[in-house]
Amino acid sequence: MPFTQEELRIDLMCRIGDDGHWHGTLGLNVEARALRRLGLHPDQPTSVVNGPSVPA
């Protein structure tokens, strides 16, 4: 795996939904320095919208 354990954070968010059942969502966070190491960073041209989105 390209990330160390210290570079990742996984959050579990739970709540009771409108239907009375529990619902859970996972949030995955990766430190910016780990993404930069892979060449993924906000300065990349493809990381911003540069035109209209394609039709559905």
pTM listed for this prediction: 0.55
In a domain, 56, yes or no: no
pLDDT more than 70, % of the chain: 82
- The pLDDT tens digits of the residues spanning 20-38 come to 999 999 999 989 888 888 8
Instruction: Tell me the C-alpha distance between 37 and 7, whole Å.
Output: 12
In a domain, 51, yes or no: no
Average pLDDT, the chain: 84
In a domain, 54, yes or no: no
pLDDT at res. 47:
57
| Domain interval for residue 18 | 5-41
Instruction: Tell me the C-alpha distance between 3 and 33, whole Å.
Output: 10
In a domain, 53, yes or no: no
In a domain, 13, yes or no: yes
In a domain, 10, yes or no: yes
Count: domains in the chain? 1
- Which of 32 and 7 is assigned the larger pLDDT? 7
Predicted confidence band at 19 (pLDDT cuts at 50, 70, 90)? very high
In a domain, 36, yes or no: yes
